[in-house]
């Protein structure tokens, strides 16, 4: 075997466990594994029209190199979308990123030195963990309940460790589904100002709410003196329009945005102009609210079907969870004695895939947890998936 001189930052880095599960495509398998939007709800006609418009009305902007910050038409539309969530943002306050994934990566590049400390939720988005690990930082985690992260623990960690940033998915967390309460949001903002820690709010899911959802931290920051200086907001069109477009955005203080722009020049010069112009025309045509309505209704029903089916075929002592309030994920915990990693092969044999919870932990994973995504399969398949999963749990607990 050839030994290549890899960078030390790659030591111990593993590929995403989800990608491994996604490669499984056995016939009849129902996958609750990936965070894939419902494919039948892609607005193919609307996006085709927007792509045509991009080429017809703005061919040069859509095909030529563009500026690193992003196309101005799209920045205007994304600023308006951010405003509609209650946060003030002007086009010049944001940069277009290649998915919000790139936003996390660029922040890592401009903010983090090896040995720095960052705080994440327990559990948290696994690709964020991957990015922080590549930055060779020390990752500390803060526990989470259905109302989001625990601010007392955050204060303790801020005091004891003086971290550089805290990364949170406060609304319909991936994988937790948790929603940070408004009270905790205010407290977190106050703590960020007091201890001078950057809050990185990752918000791809807040529009996929089944009922009222709290405003973003970025919106509440205006009520807490000085807080806006410590808020970075990441969002994305992936879950509300199409992940294939790879359009995300970052709202950040000017000094951060400046450096992120330099880092993006080196990363990819700019996000695909064709994708940007297609998205801009789509948003300008006003199609998004209707699409969001369809997605919210479909996901609310799917979450209810999966929850009800799980409850009817498994006692809460075997599988406990909170019914999702929005987003795409149901986070569950198995009873003692059955571990998610042992359950997976048995579940796959019975034709259902899921993601064990372990990769979502910075360290000391809880082996009983698992994430079920209800966004992709239709309702009848979700009910079937719950039955298969229940069969696998029973088989394993009796073996």
Interface ranges with ligand PMP (CB under 6 A) = 35, 99-101, 125, 169, 174, 202, 204, 236, 238, 243, 248
Nearer to ligand PMP, 174 or 339 (CB): 174
Strand partners, 234: 202, 250
- Smallest distance from the beta carbon of 244 to ligand PMP, in angstroms? 9
Q: What is the DSSP letter of 171?
A: B
Nearer to ligand PMP, 53 or 271 (CB): 271
Q: What is the largest CA-CA distance in the chain?
A: 65
Nearer to ligand PMP, 204 or 351 (CB): 204
Q: What is the DSSP letter of 30?
A: E
Nearer to ligand PMP, 170 or 391 (CB): 170
Q: Would you give the end-to-end CA distance of the chain in angstroms?
A: 41
- Smallest distance from the beta carbon of 27 to ligand PMP, in angstroms? 26
Nearer to ligand PMP, 144 or 393 (CB): 144
Residue closest to ligand PMP, measured at CB = 99
- Smallest distance from the beta carbon of 45 to ligand PMP, in angstroms? 22
CA distances from 351 to 239, 382, 384, 391 (A): 26, 12, 10, 11
- Smallest distance from the beta carbon of 169 to ligand PMP, in angstroms? 5
- Smallest distance from the beta carbon of 211 to ligand PMP, in angstroms? 20
Nearer to ligand PMP, 100 or 209 (CB): 100
Nearer to ligand PMP, 97 or 273 (CB): 97
Q: How does 274-312 read in b/e, with b if 16+ C-beta sit within 10 Å?
A: bbbbbbbbbbbeebbeebeeebbebbbebbbbbbebbee
- Smallest distance from the beta carbon of 198 to ligand PMP, in angstroms? 17
- Smallest distance from the beta carbon of 145 to ligand PMP, in angstroms? 18
Q: What is the spatial distance between Cα 298 and Cα 39, in angstroms, rounded to a whole number?
A: 12
User: What are the φ/ψ torsions at residue 274 (nearest 5 degrees)?
Assistant: -65, -45
- Smallest distance from the beta carbon of 313 to ligand PMP, in angstroms? 28
Nearer to ligand PMP, 99 or 163 (CB): 99
Q: What is the spatial distance between Cα 306 and Cα 298, in angstroms, rounded to a whole number?
A: 12
- Smallest distance from the beta carbon of 392 to ligand PMP, in angstroms? 25
Burial of 333 per CB tally in 10 Å (0-12, 13-18, 19+): middle
Instruction: Say if CB 260 and CB 252 are below 8 A apart.
Output: yes
- Smallest distance from the beta carbon of 248 to ligand PMP, in angstroms? 4
Q: What is the spatial distance between Cα 152 and Cα 142, in angstroms, rounded to a whole number?
A: 10
Q: Which of 394, 345, 306 is nearest to 29 (CA)?
A: 345
Residue appearing with tokens 């526990």: 143
Q: What is the spatial distance between Cα 342 and Cα 346, in angstroms, rounded to a whole number?
A: 7
- Radius of gyration in angstroms for the set of CA atoms belonging to the chain, rounded to a whole number: 21
Nearer to ligand PMP, 35 or 359 (CB): 35
Q: What is the spatial distance between Cα 366 and Cα 360, in angstroms, rounded to a whole number?
A: 9
Q: How does 29-50 read in b/e, with b if 16+ C-beta sit within 10 Å?
A: bbbbbbbbbbeeeebeebbebb
Nearer to ligand PMP, 68 or 97 (CB): 97
């Amino acid at each position: 075997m050839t030994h290549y001189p890899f960078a030390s930052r790659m030591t111990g880095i593993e590929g995403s466990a989800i990608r491994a599960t996604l490669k499984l495509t056995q016939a009849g398998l129902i996958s609750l594994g990936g965070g894939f939007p419902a494919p039948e709800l892609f607005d193919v006609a609307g996006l085709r029209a927007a792509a045509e418009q991009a080429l017809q009305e703005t061919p040069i902007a859509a095909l030529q190199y563009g500026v690193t910050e992003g196309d101005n038409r799209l920045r205007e539309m994304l600023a308006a979308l951010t405003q509609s969530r209650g946060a003030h943002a002007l086009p010049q306050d944001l940069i277009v990123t290649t998915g919000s994934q790139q936003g996390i990566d660029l922040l890592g590049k401009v903010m983090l030195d090896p040995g720095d400390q960052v705080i994440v939720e327990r559990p948290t988005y696994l690709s964020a963990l991957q990015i922080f690990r590549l930055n060779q930082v020390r990752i500390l985690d803060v526990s989470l309940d259905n109302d989001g992260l625990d601010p007392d623990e955050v204060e303790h960690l801020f005091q004891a460790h003086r971290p550089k940033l805290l990364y949170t998915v406060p609304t319909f967390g991936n994988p937790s589904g948790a929603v940070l309460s408004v009270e905790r949001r205010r407290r977190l903002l106050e703590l960020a100002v007091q201890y001078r820690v950057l809050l990185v709010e990752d918000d791809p899911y807040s529009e996929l709410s089944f009922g009222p959802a709290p405003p973003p931290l970025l919106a509440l920051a205006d009520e807490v003196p000085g807080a806006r200086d410590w808020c970075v907001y990441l969002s994305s069109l992936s879950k509300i329009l199409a992940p294939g477009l790879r359009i995300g955005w970052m709202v950040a203080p000017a000094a951060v945005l400046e450096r992120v722009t330099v880092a993006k020049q080196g990363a990819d010069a700019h996000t695909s102009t064709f994708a940007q112009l297609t998205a801009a025309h789509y948003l300008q045509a006003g199609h998004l609210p209707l699409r969001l309505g369809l997605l919210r209704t479909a996901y609310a029903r799917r979450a209810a079907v999966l929850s009800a089916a799980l409850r009817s075929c498994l006692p809460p002592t075997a599988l406990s969870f909170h019914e999702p309030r929005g987003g795409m994920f149901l986070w569950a915990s198995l009873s003692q004695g059955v571990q998610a990693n042992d359950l997976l092969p048995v579940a796959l044999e019975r034709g259902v895939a899921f993601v064990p919870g372990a990769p979502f932990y910075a360290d000391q994973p809880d082996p009983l947890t698992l994430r079920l995504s209800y966004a992709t399969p239709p309702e009848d398949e979700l009910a079937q998936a719950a039955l298969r999963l229940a069969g696998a749990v029973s088989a394993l607990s009796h073996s």
